[in-house]
Structure 1
Amino acid sequence: MSDQIHIERTGRTATVRFDTGSTSNALSQSLIRNLTEVAREFRAAPDISTVILTGRSDNFSMGADLKDPDRARLASAGLGERRIIQRLGPDLCEAWERVDAMTICAIEGWCIGGGMALAAACDLRVSSETATFYVPEVERGMNMSWGAIPRFVALIGPARTKRLAALCEKVSAEQAIQWGLVDYSSLPGSAVKRAQQIAEEAADLPPTALKMVKQDVNVSAFSLARATAHRDLEAFLLMQESDDFKEGVAAFLEGRSPRFTGD
């Protein structure tokens, strides 16, 4: 397993922490693969009732790593290979959504883009009072993908999803609680501690009944998710061919404002 991921088990609770060593805690393709593997290991662990997922103590994650050297493969890859590479993010979120145990995402600092998609794939979210949520994909000339849109809609409704993912509004922890994007708040630096308290309460419940109810809720909430999210990968591939996509990424890497043309 990657040295960027640390797993601790206490009783019926597992805590998964990912830390790239950088304050951005960006999701590289390698890290995405490893986090997906971790989720699949917990897919059907009978001795685990809750899994806490957290990032760094200063930032949960600032999203997909646009400076990841592995992304260079996309420039020369054919359509078939690019479709496979672009499945990494959706597969990550689906793997965490499919964990049998109750998943609790503990968030400090910034939770951006792909980090938001990953947080939304968990069952519950705990954030510190100073956390901020932000989905900047449209500002980068791309659509929000990773199957996140139907999960956002299930959590906060269509209008607020448009504010979050289309208008790219930055959402404070207080506003996130009001919207239903976050379930529990905590003092700065104590999101994991609050998540552990919730996990301890869950661990006292009958494990199988807990997991069965979770699955029932997910089936009810996300029954149309695959039907509505399947096209976001194809749309992302299409957007990569646009001038606005190239301009959005270039402007981000160069630290300047983008100049979009609609092409």
Structure 2
Amino acid sequence: MDPFEQAWSHLSVRRDGAVAVVTLNRPQARNALNTALMEDLTAFARAIRRRSDITVVILTGGEHFFSAGADLAAQGERRKPTLLETRQAVMAGPDMCEAWEEIEAVTIAALEGYCIGGGCALAVACDFRIMGESASMRLPEVPLGINMSWRSLPRIAALVGPARAKRFVMFGEAATAATCLDWGFCDEMVTDGQALAAAQAWAAKLAALPPLPVRMTKEAIDAVTKAGHHAATFMDRDQYLLTSRTSDFQEGVTAFFEKRPPKFTGD
């Protein structure tokens, strides 16, 4: 079935000529990335991966948030899964980001409000990011006691450099749109509410270019900058399986909900 005619559970999809606009549509959960939403995003990306009639794909969220990140409240199975099953299940996020990275058309993330955790990982898998001036990006994983996974660390380092990548990931502090613009996370900062319109203006410029060399340019630059990404991150799901079972992770989550400083022990 044509992905533009398909009924998606948590996506709103429309097409304007050679430009596709994909909107995360799970507002009641602040577009948190549960299994169903990640499956929709992955399936859509794979369906249009080599579509020659699509030049640009814009990915956007709500007026006040792009995504609150992975949905930690989602329960996938009633019984306790085996470690092997869990190891397979945690590939949903990396697979989604990889699918968006592999789209041959140019991808633009239009961000309003907050973009957290897995939402940030998805945004950096796109070619460009345009942010409203009050928007921000944040990774809370390390301060909670787990590693940042979804194979996103090389993408972040490629955009902002190693020192800023370490600062952004380790501290878990929100980077404002102005900071993101200065660092290289953001390619344009606009008035709040205008991120999608700005992305559409970029899309119009891209759609007016000859499509073949545009795709060749994207493929060549990606090949140069991402050649070692898999070697650096193939193990990050196992790091997640380790860190998510530590006492420090339990302490980090508990301290977060109790609104107190955590006391980490390295265990």
Normalization by structure 2: what TM-score?
0.94
Kindly state the Cα deviation for residue 229 of structure 1 after the two structures are TM-superposed: 1.0
Match for residue 225 of structure 1? 229
Mapped to 1, the partners of 2:255 and 2:208 lie a distance apart of 50
Match for residue 34 of structure 1? 40
1:131 aligns with 2:135: yes
Specify the SS of the correspondent of 1:104.
strand
Mapped to 1, the partners of 2:240 and 2:91 lie a distance apart of 11
Q: Deviations over 1:174-207 (max 9, x none)?
A: 0100000111111100100000000000000111
Mapped to 2, the partners of 1:229 and 1:155 lie a distance apart of 16
Mapped to 2, the partners of 1:52 and 1:158 lie a distance apart of 28
Kindly state the Cα deviation for residue 23 of structure 1 after the two structures are TM-superposed: 5.9
Mapped to 2, the partners of 1:22 and 1:178 lie a distance apart of 32
Kindly state the Cα deviation for residue 255 of structure 1 after the two structures are TM-superposed: 4.7
Mapped to 2, the partners of 1:255 and 1:226 lie a distance apart of 37
- One-letter amino acid of the structure 2 residue matched with residue 115 of structure 1: G
Aligned residues: 260
Select the residue among 248, 251, 267 that pairs with 1:247: 251
Match for residue 8 of structure 2? 2
The residue correspondences of 1:43-62 to structure 2 (distance < 5 A) are 43-62=49-68
Kindly state the Cα deviation for residue 169 of structure 1 after the two structures are TM-superposed: 2.3
Mapped to 2, the partners of 1:251 and 1:2 lie a distance apart of 37
Mapped to 2, the partners of 1:157 and 1:61 lie a distance apart of 24
Kindly state the Cα deviation for residue 24 of structure 1 after the two structures are TM-superposed: 2.4
Mapped to 1, the partners of 2:178 and 2:8 lie a distance apart of 34
Q: Deviations over 1:79-113 (max 9, x none)?
A: 11011100000000000000000000000000111
Normalization by structure 1: what TM-score?
0.95
Match for residue 22 of structure 2? 16
1:256 aligns with 2:256: no
- One-letter amino acid of the structure 1 residue matched with residue 263 of structure 2: R
- One-letter amino acid of the structure 2 residue matched with residue 27 of structure 1: L
Match for residue 83 of structure 1? 87
Kindly state the Cα deviation for residue 132 of structure 1 after the two structures are TM-superposed: 1.0
How high is the sequence identity, in percent, across the aligned residues?
42
Kindly state the Cα deviation for residue 245 of structure 1 after the two structures are TM-superposed: 1.7
Mapped to 1, the partners of 2:122 and 2:258 lie a distance apart of 26
Specify the SS of the correspondent of 1:44.
coil
1:213 aligns with 2:217: yes
Specify the SS of the correspondent of 2:166.
helix
Structure 2 regions of 5+ residues with no counterpart? Answer: 1-6
For the 8 Å contact 1:23–1:58, the answer to whether it is kept is no
Mapped to 1, the partners of 2:30 and 2:112 lie a distance apart of 12
Structure 1 residues 84 and 23, CA gap change in structure 2 (3 angstroms): closer
